[in-house]
Chains A and B, each alone.
Chain A
């Protein structure tokens, strides 16, 4: 098997696994934010700000995977 075949098979899986993990993490974060907002609706602005910050940090990990995928996909010929 040449490395191009290996890359072509594994890169979409890598991105899928990263998206899966990111979906789980973001779902947990947003769910906690929803619970907190339901508990205290007047704090919804602050909760939204903190949720956005948390989501951006979780998303950053998936973005690192995306960058690697783009870089490696250029090596497939």
Chain B
């Protein structure tokens, strides 16, 4: 394991400028040649995403299969019901009772990102959230995240479609223009509309880069310390290594959970900001209270 880890780390360092820990697709492409090997190498992140989906789907499928409707729930069913109940309480706590129909999407986003982050820490597994393609524009080369950008795009499309569906197209444009009510509001529209537009674009960008940066930074940190641990015992004739990366594994557990939670929290807050607020109702109620 240590030789392969060091070899794969060196291979990746030669290919890109960042280290990566070995995963089983890298091992498989060493043994499978030709078109199948190319396929495996190209769709590496998709394969890990499919593994996460099948793990999640099978756990929750087996939890929801009960023989009778009034039977005492088993351990798996109770645990899954606890998770779903916790997510539902969290989303409704922010959105109110009308947020119940958004719970499936937000809960699935949380579970998908959380499971992906946790499964990526197992040996020979890889976290697709840490994957990015390098976009070179002239002298600048940016890493553009792939999987996290897909998730952020999903949230962006969902939030905008909620905005159009709940407010109507006129209400949506009105919200984007900063809700002009008087002459001053209408005069500010050419300023408010681009500001809101840029704000709406910045939200999925920040979601994608936040998740990617945290997970990729943690992965590179782990790879560097695994390399250090392997190099520490390089004088021994036996392939071995010290587990110097262990505290960072614990940190990766914590940050994986926190980043999944923050992604879901921000998505929920974006939906809350897109739905009709109550603060405009406060403006209408204030003169009535003053009249009393």
What residues of chain A have their CB less than 8 Å away from a CB belonging to chain B? 52-53, 56-57, 59-60, 63-64, 66-67, 70-71, 73-75
Contact B262 A67 (CB under 8 A): no
Task: Let me know if B220 is at the binding interface, CB within 8 A.
Answer: yes
Choose from B141, B210, B216, B220 the contact partner of A60 (Cβ within 8 Å).
Answer: B210
Total cross-chain contacts (CB, 8 A): 46
Contact B262 A73 (CB under 8 A): no
Tell me whether A71 and B141 are in contact in the complex, defined as CB-CB below 8 angstroms, given that A53-B265, A60-B210 are known contacts: yes
| Listed residue (B213, B259, B262) with the most chain A CB atoms within 10 angstroms of its CB | B213
Contact B18 A70 (CB under 8 A): yes
**Nearest-Cβ distance from residue B253 to partner chain A, whole angstroms:** 15
Tell me whether A71 and B262 are in contact in the complex, defined as CB-CB below 8 angstroms, given that A60-B206, A60-B210, A63-B210 are known contacts: no
Contact B259 A74 (CB under 8 A): no
Choose from B206, B216, B261 the contact partner of A67 (Cβ within 8 Å).
Answer: B216
Main secondary structure of the interface of B (DSSP, over half): helix
Contact A56 B18 (CB under 8 A): no
B interface residues, tally (CB under 8 Å)? 20
What residues of chain B have their CB less than 8 Å away from a CB belonging to chain A? 16-18, 141-143, 206, 209-210, 212-214, 216-217, 220, 258-259, 261-262, 265
Tell me whether A71 and B143 are in contact in the complex, defined as CB-CB below 8 angstroms, given that A53-B265, A66-B213 are known contacts: yes
| Cα–Cα distance between A15 and B234 once the two chains are bound (Å) | 31
- Sampled A-B contacts (18; CB under 8 Å): A52-B261, A53-B261, A53-B265, A56-B210, A60-B206, A60-B209, A63-B210, A63-B213, A63-B217, A64-B213, A66-B217, A67-B212, A67-B216, A67-B217, A70-B17, A70-B18, A70-B217, A75-B17
Contact B220 A70 (CB under 8 A): yes
**Nearest-Cβ distance from residue A70 to partner chain B, whole angstroms:** 6
Choose from A53, A64, A74, A75 the contact partner of B262 (Cβ within 8 Å).
Answer: A53
Smallest CB gap from A61: residue in B: B210
**Nearest-Cβ distance from residue B151 to partner chain A, whole angstroms:** 15
Contact A56 B217 (CB under 8 A): no
